[in-house]
Amino acid sequence: MRLQFVHYEGHTFMHSKLFLPFKSSLLTILAVSAAFVVSSKPAFAQAPHSLDAAEQQKVDTLVKQMTLQQKLDYIGGTGFGVRAVSSLGIPALDMSDGPYGTRSNSGFPSTTYGAGINMAASWNPELAARVGAGIGRDARARGVHFMLGPGVNIYRSPRNGRNFEYFGEDPFLAGQIAVGYITGMQEQGVSATVKHYLGNNSEFLRHDSDSEIDERTLREIYMPAFEVAVKQGHVSSVMDSYNLINGQHATQNGYFNIDILRKEWGFKGVLMSDWDATYDAIGAANGGLDIEEPGGKFMNNANLGPAIRAGKVSEATIDEKVRRILETAASYGWLNRDQHDASISFVDTKNKEVALDAAREGAVLLKNAGNLLPLDKSAIKTILIVGPDAYPGVPVGGGSAGVVPFHMVSALEGISNEVGAATTVLYDRGFRRCRIWRPLRSLRLKPRTVRPG
């Protein structure tokens, strides 16, 4: 079944072949819309390519035609995207959160996949490529250019609130899963964004914490997944993290952003900030950041205009930022085509199959004492399910990785349906939330007051 959304006299209708009780002119409009969708050719899922001479000339011309104010506006985000420059025919570019589904920032549902650690537990880069491709298709159906994932930060502490998004503590495994994910997604004409570069291993005090990491540890543990994402996955976008690394915030850390990412690894794409992870206009501009999200709070005309006139930032530096964004757009064909692909259903049956395969492959049986599993349904009379996440279902860990699924089946419902009416299924929530910890959420420390401990 194909679902399409049809606009008629200010209203939006969901149309499918199963929706029949419409009459007269509205029915005609829906029928014409359906016929158009069926007969239209699928949009080209353009993977990124090296620019030819004509494409490069077009980008260079656009940079020259932009005024300084237009350039400075361009490197400040629009909430979730890159602004249009209508006078020059430059389209807006949309971004979406949700490394394990396409949230598209509207709350509209999307196929929701198992989180990063589930994918890593499959040890299957080809499966990761299928997941990346599925998310890419959903992104094309919604007109999204940049997907903000995958996250590849290495597990430093089990208490990190975003560990579920990442691929575990093994740098090689994390890198290979990321390469599969990135390749599958970008083949759909959607840029992946590898994040959070670098050493973002704690959500607590994430704006103020300083990850002090020696060079060997960086090279062997914390950077390899990012390195292969660039060198093997050819990722088109990288996101800087909130934290400091060795005394300097990621978004203004020229050693990591320029010396390593650009010069050593050869990254040619877009380097964006995490949301509100920019702290200094001149530092970020000279430190390699291309675009500040969600907006130009620091990298704007008011701050950088005087800095350019004073010689603290060169206009050539700003030109390079604009050029990298436009080159990335040109490499996908975004400057010449609509990113929305109307040939892809909002509910993609291919993606449902991939999500199920990913969930199955991510399940790891560590021990099966006495060959207890699989359970014999004919012999089991009573099952007790314990745990707060057994009901209702918890599809994702939340935060910026939160995705709204079209539907979900909780563990309680799934097991009950599987064993049938002959088996009694009991449930207890078990652990209750500790309200005593809530006041600690407001705790904040200034960097200068932090002491090793």
pLDDT at 267: 98
pLDDT at 435: 58
pLDDT at 134: 96
Average pLDDT, the chain: 87
Span 215-227, average pLDDT: 98
Query: Which pLDDT band holds residue 452 (cuts at 50, 70, 90)?
Result: very low
Residues 6+ apart with CB under 8 A from 49: 331
Query: Which pLDDT band holds residue 397 (cuts at 50, 70, 90)?
Result: confident
Least confident range from 68-82, 97-111, 359-373, 415-429: namely 97-111
Span 62-68, average pLDDT: 98
Whether residue 35 has pLDDT greater than 90: no
pLDDT at 105: 73
What the block records as the tokens of 337 is: 């085509």
Q: Which residue from 103, 123, 264, 102 is spatially nearest to 180, judged by alpha carbons? A: 123
Query: Which pLDDT band holds residue 210 (cuts at 50, 70, 90)?
Result: very high
pLDDT at 25: 40
Sign of CA dihedral 232, 238, 244, 249: positive
pLDDT at 404: 85
Query: Which pLDDT band holds residue 13 (cuts at 50, 70, 90)?
Result: very low
Q: Are the C-beta atoms of 102 and 110 separated by less than 8 Å?
A: yes
Q: Are the C-beta atoms of 195 and 148 separated by less than 8 Å?
A: yes
The one catalytic residue among 97, 138, 240, 274:
274
Rounded CA separation 12/345 (Å): 16
Q: Are the C-beta atoms of 286 and 313 separated by less than 8 Å?
A: yes
- Distances from the Cα of 345 to the Cαs of 135, 139, 320, 338, 341, in angstroms? 12, 11, 37, 16, 9
pLDDT at 446: 54
pLDDT at 375: 87
pLDDT at 19: 33
Summarised one tens digit per residue, pLDDT across range 412-434 is: 999 999 999 999 999 999 976 65
Residues 6+ apart with CB under 8 A from 141: 102, 340, 341, 344, 345, 346, 348
Can you give the pTM of this predicted structure?
A: 0.85
pLDDT at 448: 52
Query: Which pLDDT band holds residue 398 (cuts at 50, 70, 90)?
Result: confident
Q: Are the C-beta atoms of 110 and 98 separated by less than 8 Å?
A: yes
Query: Which pLDDT band holds residue 17 (cuts at 50, 70, 90)?
Result: very low
Rounded CA separation 264/30 (Å): 55
Between residues 136 and 156, the one the model is more confident about: 136
Query: Which pLDDT band holds residue 399 (cuts at 50, 70, 90)?
Result: confident
Number of Cα atoms under 13 Å in the Cβ half of residue 313: 27
Let me know if 389 is a catalytic residue.
no
